[in-house]
Amino acid sequence: MRSAPFTIPVLAATLAVVLGAVPSQAQQRTTLPSAVDSVYRRALNALAAGDTATALDALELVQRGAPRFADAFYQHGVILSRRSEMGLAPDDIFRRRRAGEKLEAALDRDPNNPLYLLELGRLRLKTPFLRIEAERLFAKAQRAARARGDAHLLAIVEYELGLVSARRFNALRHRRILTGTATALDLEAAADDWHYIPNFLEQRSAPVADAGELDRLKAEEHFHAALAADSSHEGAAADLLALLYESARSAEMLPLATTLARRQPRAPRTWLALGLALSERDRVDEAAFAFDSALALLPDSTRREMLDVAQWLRPDDATQLARASRSEREATELAWWRSADPLALTPVNEARVALLARVAYADLRFTSEEAGLPGWRTDRGQIWIRYGAPDVIATLAPETQEVNGAESTARVITIWWYRANALRFVFRGPPAINAAGFAGNFRAYADNARRIIPMSLADVHGALRLDTVPVQVARFRADSGTRVELFAELPTDRMLRDVDLTPALVEGGFAFGADAAQRAPQMQRDSLRLPAGPRAAAVRRSWARTVPSGREYAYRIEARQPDTGRGARGDGTIGVLPLGAGGAFDISDLVIADHVIGAADAVERADYRIDANPAMRYLPGDTVALYWETYNATPREGRIARLRVRVTVRILSIDRGRSFSARLLGGIADAVGLSAVGDEQVSLTYERSARAGMMVPHQLTLQLGDAPPGQYALSVEVTDMSTGRSAHTERTLTLERPSS
Amino acid sequence: MTPRLRIRLRTLVLAGALSAQQATAPALLAQQARVDVTTHPGERRVPRRVLMPFVMGAAAALAASAYFVGSAEDPVGSCTGPSCVLPMSIGIGLFVGYLMGREMDQAFALRYRRGAPVAPTAQALMLEGEPQWLAVSAQRGAAGGTGGVQLFATDGAPRLLARRAVGIRGIHGVALTPSSVLVAATTGLYEFAADSAIGMRVRDGDVTACTELRGRHVVAIGERLELSPPPGRSDSTWRSTSAGAPVRALATDDARGVVWVATDSSLGAFTLVGDSLTRQSSVRLTGGVRTVRTDGSRVAVAAGERGLWLFDVEGGTSARVRFVWTGTRFAYDALITRERLFVAAGGEGLFVLDARAARGAVLGIARQTGFAVALGEQGDYTYVLDRTSPALHRIRSDFSLR
């Protein structure tokens, strides 16, 4: 069991509510002798100060001094009741029994006091098998509160009745019955074997249609009644909003949350719920505002904990982050949020909104007053926030006999199954109580899962249908520093394939900088109008920046179709080292292109037109054009340098069939001194003369012929024959299987 | 009969009875809504707490009859003989049946606390995505929402014609003109010609509602009402008029040239004066308005959690509230069809109210139309959009309430 840091504040708050509750009829009737009255006041003061031991002693004295004074018994019962846990531990049974006696004594003296009935009902809820009795007491309290015309109390009672139904609904909602020979869920197998849970769900259990529907209807009625009696009832508001969200009724949730946020502007839970409703309605900008409003109302420590990036990192990384200096930590956190943002083109970080929506849901749904834990700190809440909504949720009825040790005995088993990454989590908790923790070894399993998959934003990317922008980055020497060229292919063919608008607008964005990963990237934006539908084609773009060497740079290239919200993104970092420093012979990056066109006397990069292939993907029969530069070649005769070029194509992974080299060799053009080496590698070597100097451009064209699909490493090694020094560069290209 | 055969036979009968019980119990619970809806209102419905004990008792009796197959000569335990098993099984069956029936009755009472069940005969068309908005005309209908706009025929049983606006996000409404489909969305107003598969964005902005008035598009963007330039004119400027508050819904009375404009605080009537829309009247309204509908003499406003507001129209442009009905948790849409007023109430179903009454009087509740979120009328038929199936249901507007 986790520690419950909120238990003491919750107890104190509850007692404060109790102290402030309406005076009972008995109290109104009874005038306490002054000596007893002062003792009673002492008891209340002690209670308010959290000194329950003194309060209990004083209340015992009051009960002896004024045996008809019901409130003394009630207060005594409340203290004992709140200090008892649910379950069958002897201490708890004893404490509950004593609390029950005191509350019944209060009711003997003031029958039909709704407050007393309510507290007795709450006490009964903690006792297994007495929940129906609890509901009966709440119903009686409801009638009594109505008869008294006490709206505040009526709201509390309606809320309790709603909670009884809501908890039952939550326990029943995803209910499955075991079929075939299955008798129980094997927790060990569930944790050890990823096949077990999907098999169990598909073959050994069947969902029960409409399970818990009546309880949902009842819960909704009661929560509405609670809010009708007291519109400021935060609990009823939160639970009603959770119920609407769970029923996929965000259209109903939104106006209610808006109204409640207006009525309860200082209640962070209501703002969180409003943010959740807005994000569900795809009103991301407004959701971000609502979440920020909620965060602003939370204590600093809670806000920091809620948004702590460490919870979404692998445990080792989280430990490392915790050890980092404050400035490093802040920089890393900022970089994490920037990186998580699916599209910097939009004003809102959709990932942040999605994560806060998960926090909001966990808060609404898993907050357990019994355990004194906010929902986002519970086991279920943590998993929900980390991985989002599971693909399948299933609950199994409590076992009446002991099976699997005591794991499932008298406990509801809840299964969460994430199909895409085969993650599964099993929780167990008492029926009709909103508390559940990891079952069996699933805490250890969750820790292990976090090492492999620290978190997932697949739902956010799925909603945006986020695509990838392939980017090829090449570094060349420049007069001052390094010239970085970025070649990107915006996947507008896929983004616009089923868009039926013409012309379709596509917004593009480009950011490049030394600390672009940390700062809000200043996007250089533009827009394109393109044909949509089946005629849509991918668009290639390129950018160049000359930057000082010796630093790491980050780039981000994005495309977004505003009508559909679809986006694509390519990003990364690149280290820029000086090329040819100190006059050393050096080579640039290799550019893989479809075409490289340059005049015969071309001597500068500007003399070449390069149609780079950013994805470096080709089809059999395509031509691969290469471009690179060498620097600081030493002259051999006059001003002419002699260079030996060796181009090698090596198989990385391939569908091996016939001999590879035989197919590739025939396609190499412009080759002098060709030599094939081995069966998995082919290289060509040639020598060339070039004007010695700062930079020598090179280009080469390869014909792929009918080489088989696969991945190939393409490397270029150039040797300065004057000095014998070599420089080397390499790329990987993919030869795709032609689509049928 | 050999003892072995007897045991096998007994096992078979028992298994049959138990599986019948297993199969009927959840099915009865699950099917309850359907059973309830097709049951006629009032005294003709047999309370399930009365019916179910018989059903479960009979199932239990069938189970217990296994012990009468042959003779149970080797009883083991305290209650394995026929004389004990039969009454015990029937007793348990009656009790379980009573509990199930009681639960069914409670659900029935909650679902139909505002009115009796009615059962219109519906023709259904299955849709895709999550449609939320509906427009119907004599030529075609359009259901819009997540996944775009699905066009369907309205000249008979509904059938799918085409899909438009695929993937456009944040669709807030659809409207039909004789020659096109208008789609209001977060990113603008889109128009798709009826005979073309390609559309275009004709107005930028977060368009919350759209309609057409005498061949000109009317859109709501924030607090503004915007009117497209007259067709064929070279001037492409849209005329803008302030509605005073964020506009939630629009409806046109083309015959009288009136656009009814609903905000969260008022219902206003706007007419074309010169070349722009001018407010003629305004009446107070509260609530998160979702839709506004008019038949010329009445205006119905579905105001979400604030229920349904029915107004009588006086002098063509002046509205006077007749009643506010809050009998449903959430009014998604409303539709006036002669003497009936339909209210799409989401999971609560389709409410049928008396449109002639001075106050909201429920004539019946239909639940087989699913999660009703939007309504449309064409000829004698009312179309109901069921968000969760998702499906479009076509029912006769004057279906029998008995």
Same domain, B206 and B271: yes
CATH number of the domain where residue B243 is located: 2.130.10.10
Please judge whether B166 and A500 are an interchain contact, meaning their C-beta atoms are less than 8 angstroms apart.
yes
SS3 for chain B is CCHHHHHHHHHHHHHHHHHHHHHHHHHHHHCHHHHHHHCCCHHHCCCHHHHHHHHHHHHHHHHHHHHHCCCCCCCCCCCCCHHHHHHHHHHHHHHHHHHHHHHHHHHHHHHCCCCCECCCCEEEEECCCEEEEEEECCCEEEEEEECEEEEEECCCCCCEEEEECCCCCCEEEEEECCCEEEEEECCEEEEEECCCCCEEEEEECCEEEEEEECCEEEEEECCEEEECCCCCCCCCCCEEEECCCCEEEEEEECCCCEEEEEECCEEEEEEEECCEEEEEEEEECCCCCCEEEECCCEEEEECECCCEEEEEEECCCEEEEEEEECCCCCECEEEEECCEEEEECECCCEEEEECCCCCCCEEEEECCCCCEEEEEEECCEEEEEECCCCEEEEEECCCCCC
- Using CB atoms, pick whichever of B168, B188, B199 lies closest to residue A564: B168
In tens, the pLDDT along A113-172 reads 999 999 999 888 887 677 788 889 999 999 999 999 999 999 999 999 999 999 889 888
Domain ends where: B111, B146, B168?
A: B111
Spatial separation of the C-alpha atoms in residues A410 and A401, rounded to whole Å: 8
- Is domain A466-578 in CATH 3.40.220.10, yes or no? no
* Selected residues 156-185 of chain B with any CB under 8 Å from a CB in chain A: 164-170, 185
Residue whose pair of structure tokens reads 């959770």 in the numeric block: A242
Distance between first and last Cα of chain A: 58
Same domain, B38 and B155: no
Same domain, B153 and B12: no
pLDDT of residue A231 exceeding 60: yes
Q: Is B325 within a domain? A: yes
Same domain, B134 and B271: yes
What is the rounded average pLDDT of the residues B13-19? Answer: 50
Q: Tell me the pLDDT band of A600, cut-offs 50, 70 and 90.
A: confident
Pairing of strands A725-735, A693-703: unpaired
What is the rounded average pLDDT of the residues B318-324? Answer: 96
Q: Is B301 within a domain? A: yes
Cα angle B273, B275, B280; round to 5: 25
Spatial separation of the C-alpha atoms in residues B393 and B166, rounded to whole Å: 22
Give the CA distances from residue A12 to residues A50, A135, B7, B334, in Å, rounded to whole numbers and listed in that order: 6, 25, 64, 49
Residue A530 touches chain B, beta carbons under 8 Å: no
Tokens coding A190: 């569930």
Q: What residues contact residue A630 under an 8 Å CB cut-off, 6+ apart?
A: A585, A586, A587, A588, A643, A695, A696, A698, A718, A720, A727
Please judge whether A252 and B103 are an interchain contact, meaning their C-beta atoms are less than 8 angstroms apart.
no
Same domain, B191 and B107: no
Phi then psi for residue B347, to 5 deg, are -65, -20
The greatest distance separating any two alpha carbons of chain B, rounded to the nearest whole angstrom, comes to 101
* Selected residues 266-325 of chain B with any CB under 8 Å from a CB in chain A: 287-288, 290, 304-305
Same domain, B104 and B143: no
Spatial separation of the C-alpha atoms in residues A319 and A408, rounded to whole Å: 35
What is the rounded average pLDDT of the residues B78-91? Answer: 78
Q: Identity (one letter) of the amino acid at B68? A: F
Same domain, B70 and B155: no
Distance between first and last Cα of chain B: 56
> Which runs of consecutive H residues, i.e. helices, occur in A410-510?
442-452, 458-464, 492-496
Nearest one of B105, B84, B104 to B24, comparing CA atoms:
B104
What is the rounded average pLDDT of the residues A360-375? Answer: 85
Higher pLDDT, A91 or A535: A535
Please judge whether A214 and B103 are an interchain contact, meaning their C-beta atoms are less than 8 angstroms apart.
yes
Q: Is B226 within a domain? A: yes
Domain ends where: B111, B142, B175?
A: B111
Task: Please list every residue in chain B whose beta carbon sits closer than 8 Å to the beta carbon of residue A279.
Answer: none
Among B195, B305, B387, the residue to mutate for chain A (most A Cβ within 10 A): B305
Q: Identity (one letter) of the amino acid at A203? A: Q
Q: Identity (one letter) of the amino acid at B178? A: P
Tokens coding B82: 């026929």
pLDDT at residue number B4: 53
- Asked if A457 contacts A354 with a C-beta cutoff of 8 angstroms, the reply is yes
Nearest one of B309, B284, B279, B311 to B295, comparing CA atoms:
B311
- Using CB atoms, pick whichever of A214, A254, A498 lies closest to residue B167: A498
pLDDT at residue number A210: 84
Residue B201 touches chain A, beta carbons under 8 Å: yes
Among B19, B186, B388, the residue to mutate for chain A (most A Cβ within 10 A): B186
Cα angle A569, A573, A574; round to 5: 130
Higher pLDDT, A454 or A25: A454
Spatial separation of the C-alpha atoms in residues A504 and A490, rounded to whole Å: 14
Please judge whether A248 and B388 are an interchain contact, meaning their C-beta atoms are less than 8 angstroms apart.
yes
pLDDT at residue number A519: 59
> In a 3-state reduction of DSSP, which class is residue A729?
strand
Spatial separation of the C-alpha atoms in residues A459 and A82, rounded to whole Å: 41
Fold topology of A1-149: 1.25.40
User: In 10 A of CB A387, how many CB atoms?
Assistant: 25
Q: In what order do the strands lie in the sheet with B350-354?
A: B333-337, B340-344, B350-354, B362-366
Instruction: State the span(s) of chain A assigned CATH 2.60.40.10.
Output: 466-578, 583-740
Spatial separation of the C-alpha atoms in residues A124 and A137, rounded to whole Å: 9
* Selected residues 33-72 of chain B with any CB under 8 Å from a CB in chain A: 33
Spatial separation of the C-alpha atoms in residues A717 and A586, rounded to whole Å: 10
Tokens coding A427: 């929780």
> In a 3-state reduction of DSSP, which class is residue B88?
helix
ipTM of the complex model: 0.82
pLDDT of residue A526 exceeding 60: yes
Same domain, B175 and B306: yes
- Using CB atoms, pick whichever of B103, B167, B170 lies closest to residue A282: B170
Q: What share of chain B is helix, strand, coil (3-state, %, to 5)?
A: 20, 45, 35
Give the range among A284-293, A423-432, A491-500 with minimum mean pLDDT: A423-432
Nearest one of A342, A503, A284, A502 to B186, comparing CA atoms:
A284
Spatial separation of the C-alpha atoms in residues B253 and B281, rounded to whole Å: 15
What is chain B's mean pLDDT, rounded?
A: 86
Higher pLDDT, B402 or B350: B350
Spatial separation of the C-alpha atoms in residues A618 and A180, rounded to whole Å: 52
Same domain, B263 and B288: yes
Phi then psi for residue B189, to 5 deg, are -105, 130
Q: At what angle do helices A131-148 and A151-172 cross, to 10 degrees?
A: 150
Residue B23 touches chain A, beta carbons under 8 Å: no
Spatial separation of the C-alpha atoms in residues A481 and A476, rounded to whole Å: 9
pLDDT of residue B65 exceeding 90: no
Structurally, chain B folds into a number of domains equal to 2
Residue B15 touches chain A, beta carbons under 8 Å: no
Give the range among A657-671, B148-162, B243-257 with minimum mean pLDDT: A657-671
Pairing of strands A467-468, A566-576: parallel
Spatial separation of the C-alpha atoms in residues B329 and B325, rounded to whole Å: 11
Residue whose pair of structure tokens reads 């049983």 in the numeric block: B157
Higher pLDDT, A665 or B183: B183
pLDDT of residue B179 exceeding 80: yes
pLDDT at residue number A258: 92
Nearest one of A559, A501, A508 to A531, comparing CA atoms:
A501
Domain A583-740: CATH superfamily is Immunoglobulins (2.60.40.10)
Task: Please list every residue in chain A whose beta carbon sits closer than 8 Å to the beta carbon of residue B110.
Answer: 214, 217-218, 221
Q: Is B401 within a domain? A: no
What distance lies between CA A331 and its chain's CA centroid? 20
Task: Please list every residue in chain B whose beta carbon sits closer than 8 Å to the beta carbon of residue A258.
Answer: 288
Nearest one of B185, B184, B182, B188 to B201, comparing CA atoms:
B188
Phi then psi for residue A736, to 5 deg, are -85, 155
Residue whose pair of structure tokens reads 């359009």 in the numeric block: B142
What is chain A's mean pLDDT, rounded?
A: 86
Among B29, B191, B306, the residue to mutate for chain A (most A Cβ within 10 A): B29
Taking CA atoms, what residue in A is nearest to B183?
Answer: A563
Distance from CA of B18 to the nearest CA of A (A): 13
Q: Is B344 within a domain? A: yes
- Using CB atoms, pick whichever of B110, B165, B329 lies closest to residue A500: B165
Residue whose pair of structure tokens reads 């060796």 in the numeric block: A646
Please judge whether B30 and A224 are an interchain contact, meaning their C-beta atoms are less than 8 angstroms apart.
no
Task: Please list every residue in chain A whose beta carbon sits closer than 8 Å to the beta carbon of residue B186.
Answer: 282
Higher pLDDT, A449 or A2: A449
Q: Is B148 within a domain? A: yes
Please judge whether B200 and A566 are an interchain contact, meaning their C-beta atoms are less than 8 angstroms apart.
no
Q: Is B116 within a domain? A: no
Same domain, B107 and B142: no
Spatial separation of the C-alpha atoms in residues A519 and A554, rounded to whole Å: 11
- Asked if A418 contacts A391 with a C-beta cutoff of 8 angstroms, the reply is yes
Distance from CA of B187 to the nearest CA of A (A): 6
Length of chain B measured in residues:
402
Spatial separation of the C-alpha atoms in residues A167 and B365, rounded to whole Å: 29
SS3 for B347-401 is CCCEEEEECCCCCCCEEEEECCCCCEEEEEEECCEEEEEECCCCEEEEEECCCCC
Residue whose pair of structure tokens reads 């550019």 in the numeric block: A591
User: In 10 A of CB A639, how many CB atoms?
Assistant: 10
Distance from CA of B197 to the nearest CA of A (A): 7
Tokens coding A350: 């959709």
Phi then psi for residue B173, to 5 deg, are 175, 160
Distance from CA of A345 to the nearest CA of B (A): 15
Instruction: State the span(s) of chain A assigned CATH 1.25.40.10.
Output: 1-149
The residues with which A20 forms a beta bridge, in sequence order, are none
Same domain, B206 and B246: yes
pLDDT of residue A381 exceeding 70: yes
Taking CA atoms, what residue in A is nearest to B149?
Answer: A500
| Chain A to chain B Cβ contacts (< 8 Å) | 89
Task: Please list every residue in chain B whose beta carbon sits closer than 8 Å to the beta carbon of residue A499.
Answer: 166-167
User: A490-500 in b/e burial notation, b at 16+ Cβ within 10 A?
Assistant: bbbbebbebbb
pLDDT of residue B52 exceeding 50: yes
Same domain, B46 and B133: no
Domain ends where: B48, B81, B111?
A: B111
Spatial separation of the C-alpha atoms in residues A517 and A338, rounded to whole Å: 6
Percent above pLDDT 70 for chain A: 88
Distance from CA of B255 to the nearest CA of A (A): 32
Q: Is B117 within a domain? A: no
* Selected residues 215-244 of chain A with any CB under 8 Å from a CB in chain B: 217-218, 220-221, 224
User: In 10 A of CB A65, how many CB atoms?
Assistant: 16
Its domain, for residue B101, covers 3-111
Spatial separation of the C-alpha atoms in residues A736 and A622, rounded to whole Å: 10
- Using CB atoms, pick whichever of B26, B107, B198 lies closest to residue A214: B107
